[in-house]
C-alpha cells in the first residue's frame, strides 16, 4: 500500500477495507460533544454493542432462576468458563485443554509463578525485560522475596542499549545463555507496553527451555493484537487480560495458558481451589485436592458470570473476523499512522518527534509510541481537547493504538490534521 496524507487516500482505503463494517459494532465515546478519535485500545478497548444484550440476559436469568441459574440459565453458570475455551484457544494458538478464563491478570501471574518459579540454591534467577509493565515488576520482586531471595541478585533485567529505546533480540538470548546455569525462569511481556515492541517469543522460548528454565509471557498487550502460537512455540505458561485489545470491559476476566505437558500432569505444583477440582467428584466435597487434568485445574473459584458476559460478546467478533485478517489490517493501519506522523514531522518547522516503536511491521502490533522531544504534556492535552483519546506516559511519550476492529484510515488522517493544528 502506497500511503498518502490526503482525504482521498484515507476515504478510498476505508472503502476498500474488508473489516470496515465491524466499526459499527462498537460504541464510540462522545463526551467531547462529537465522536472521538479513539486510539487507546491498548489501555481499554471500546464496548461491543452486543455486550449489553448478553449481560442483560445473565441478569434476567439471575432474576428468574436464582440459584438454579447454575443449571438452567440460557448459558448455565456451572460451566460458564467452558463457553470460552475454543475461542480463547484459537486466539492464542493453543489446544483446548491448555486455556482457561479466570481471575485477573496479576492474580494469574502469581498463580502461575507458584507453579513455574520454584527456585533452588543452584537455579534461582529470572530473566525479564527492563521497563516491563509495573505489575510484572512487582510480581517478580515479591515472588523472589517470598522465597527469601534478594531481587537485585535474582532478577536479571535486559535493557535497551545506550541511546536506543527497544531491546535487541540477541541481548535477550545472550542474557539467557550467560545465566543458564542459574536460570529458573524467563518471563517477558510478549509486547512491551511502553514501546509496542513485539518480542520473538518462539526463539526466546527455545533458548530458555534449552537452558533448563521455564518460559512464560505476559500477553496483556499481545492477545487480540498479534498472531500467537503458544502451543507450537512450546511456551510453558502465559496469561493475559481481556480489557485492552479484547474489548471486554474495565477489570474484566483474564486468561491463562498452561502447556499440556504441565496441564495434564496432576502433580504439577499449584495453589488449589475448589473450582479446579475434578468435575465429576467436585460436589462430594472430599478432602485432598484432585485437579482437573487441563488448565482448568488452576481455577480457584467459580466463574464471575457478570464479568465474563461482555468477554463472550467480544470473542464472538474475534471468531467472526479471525486474527489473520486483524493482523493484516493492523499492519497497514499502523503503517499509515507511522507515515502520517513522519510526514507531519518532516513538514513542520521546529517539530522534533521520535517514534520509539520498531519500524519493522513484524516487531510491532497496532501501537505507535511517540517520543516528543522538548515538549511537555501540553501537546497531549491539546490533542485531548481536540477529540483524540490517546495515552500519556511520563516523561514525554504519547501512546496510540489504531485498533483494526474499529479504527479507520480516516481516523488516522483526522489525527494528523489535529496534530498539525496543535503544533501551531
Instruction: State which residues form the domain around 406.
Output: 7-17+323-423
Judgement on whether residues 264 and 219 belong to the same structural domain of the protein = yes
Judgement on whether residues 286 and 358 belong to the same structural domain of the protein = no
User: What cell does 200 get?
Assistant: 520473538
Helix or strand or coil: residue 257?
A: strand
Judgement on whether residues 265 and 340 belong to the same structural domain of the protein = no
Judgement on whether residues 105 and 230 belong to the same structural domain of the protein = yes
Only one residue has cell 512450546, namely 234
Alpha helical stretches, state H, 291-400: 305-321, 323-347, 378-385
**Cα–Cα distance measured from residue 107 to residue 42, given in angstroms and rounded to the nearest whole number:** 20
Only one residue has cell 499481545, namely 222
Candidates 241, 259, 156; CA nearest to 191 is 241
Block means of pLDDT (10 residues each) for the chain, length 424 residues? 94 97 94 84 97 98 98 97 97 98 97 98 97 93 97 97 96 98 97 97 98 98 98 98 97 97 97 96 93 98 96 97 97 97 85 90 95 83 93 92 97 95 86
Helix or strand or coil: residue 27?
A: strand
Q: Is there a contact between 255 and 134 (Cβ–Cβ < 8 Å)?
A: no
Asked if the structure places residue 417 within a domain, the reply is: yes
Judgement on whether residues 268 and 287 belong to the same structural domain of the protein = yes
Asked if the structure places residue 40 within a domain, the reply is: no
Question: What CATH number is given to the structural domain containing 349?
Answer: 3.90.1150.10
Among candidate residues 320, 335, 365, the one where a domain is terminated: 320
The predicted pLDDT at position 352 comes to 77
Contacts with 230 (C-beta within 8 Å, 6 or more apart), sequence order: 92, 93, 94, 98, 238, 257, 259
Count of domains in the chain? 2
pLDDT tens for 322-351 read: 999 999 999 999 999 999 999 998 887 767
The predicted pLDDT at position 32 comes to 66
**Cα–Cα distance measured from residue 344 to residue 386, given in angstroms and rounded to the nearest whole number:** 17
**Cα–Cα distance measured from residue 43 to residue 7, given in angstroms and rounded to the nearest whole number:** 28
Among candidate residues 263, 295, 320, the one where a domain is terminated: 320
Asked if the structure places residue 23 within a domain, the reply is: no
- How many CA atoms, within 13 angstroms, populate the side-chain half-sphere of residue 360? 8
Judgement on whether residues 285 and 408 belong to the same structural domain of the protein = no
The predicted pLDDT at position 217 comes to 98
Q: DSSP readout, 15-49?
A: HT-TTGGGGGGEEPP-TTSS--EE-BTTTSPPEEH
The predicted pLDDT at position 335 comes to 97
Judgement on whether residues 186 and 264 belong to the same structural domain of the protein = yes
Judgement on whether residues 178 and 99 belong to the same structural domain of the protein = yes
The predicted pLDDT at position 13 comes to 98
Judgement on whether residues 207 and 235 belong to the same structural domain of the protein = yes
Q: Is there a contact between 51 and 313 (Cβ–Cβ < 8 Å)?
A: yes
Helix or strand or coil: residue 127?
A: strand
The predicted pLDDT at position 31 comes to 76
Amino acid at each position: 500500500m502506497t500511503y498518502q496524507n490526503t482525504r482521498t487516500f484515507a476515504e478510498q482505503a476505508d472503502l476498500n477495507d474488508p473489516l470496515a463494517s465491524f466499526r459499527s459494532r462498537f460504541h464510540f465515546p462522545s463526551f467531547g460533544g462529537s465522536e472521538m478519535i479513539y486510539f487507546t485500545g491498548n489501555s481499554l478497548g471500546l464496548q461491543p454493542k452486543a455486550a449489553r444484550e448478553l449481560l442483560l440476559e445473565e441478569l434476567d436469568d439471575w432474576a428468574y432462576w436464582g440459584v438454579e441459574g447454575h443449571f438452567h440459565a440460557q448459558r448455565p453458570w456451572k460451566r460458564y468458563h467452558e463457553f470460552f475455551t475454543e475461542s480463547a484457544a484459537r486466539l492464542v494458538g493453543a489446544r483446548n485443554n491448555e486455556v482457561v478464563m479466570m481471575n485477573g491478570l496479576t492474580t494469574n501471574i502469581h498463580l502461575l509463578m507458584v507453579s513455574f518459579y520454584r527456585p533452588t540454591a543452584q537455579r534461582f534467577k529470572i530473566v525479564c525485560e527492563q521497563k516491563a509493565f509495573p505489575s510484572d515488576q512487582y510480581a517478580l520482586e515479591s515472588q523472589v522475596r517470598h522465597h527469601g531471595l534478594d531481587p537485585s541478585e535474582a532478577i536479571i533485567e535486559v535493557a535497551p542499549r545506550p541511546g536506543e529505546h527497544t531491546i535487541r533480540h540477541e541481548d535477550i538470548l545472550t542474557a539467557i545463555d550467560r545465566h543458564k546455569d542459574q536460570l529458573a525462569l524467563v518471563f517477558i511481556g510478549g509486547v512491551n507496553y511502553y514501546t509496542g515492541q513485539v518480542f520473538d517469543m518462539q526463539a526466546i522460548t527455545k533458548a530458555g527451555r534449552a537452558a533448563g528454565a521455564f518460559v512464560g509471557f505476559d500477553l496483556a498487550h499481545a492477545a487480540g493484537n498479534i498472531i500467537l502460537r503458544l502451543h507450537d512455540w512450546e511456551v510453558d505458561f502465559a496469561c493475559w487480560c481481556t480489557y485492552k485489545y479484547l474489548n471486554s470491559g474495565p477489570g474484566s476476566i483474564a486468561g491463562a495458558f498452561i502447556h499440556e505437558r504441565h496441564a495434564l500432569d496432576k502433580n504439577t505444583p499449584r495453589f488449589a481451589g475448589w473450582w479446579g477440582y475434578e468435575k465429576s467428584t467436585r460436589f462430594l466435597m472430599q478432602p485432598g485436592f484432585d485437579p482437573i487434568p487441563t488448565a482448568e485445574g488452576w481455577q480457584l473459584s467459580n466463574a464471575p458470570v457478570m464479568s465474563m458476559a461482555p468477554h463472550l460478546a467480544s470473542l464472538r467478533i474475534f471468531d467472526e473476523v479471525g486474527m489473520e485478517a486483524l493482523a493484516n489490517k493492523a499492519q497497514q493501519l499502523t503503517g499509515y499512522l507511522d507515515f502520517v506522523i513522519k510526514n507531519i514531522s518532516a513538514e513542520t518547522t521546529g517539530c522534533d518527534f521520535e517514534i520509539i516503536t520498531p519500524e519493522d511491521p513484524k516487531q510491532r502490533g497496532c501501537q505507535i509510541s511517540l517520543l516528543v522531544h522538548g515538549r511537555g504534556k501540553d501537546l497531549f492535552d491539546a490533542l485531548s481537547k481536540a477529540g483524540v483519546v490517546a495515552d500519556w506516559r511520563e516523561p514525554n511519550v504519547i501512546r496510540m493504538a489504531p485498533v483494526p476492529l474499529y479504527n479507520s484510515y480516516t481516523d488516522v488522517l483526522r489525527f494528523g490534521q489535529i496534530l498539525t493544528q496543535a503544533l501551531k
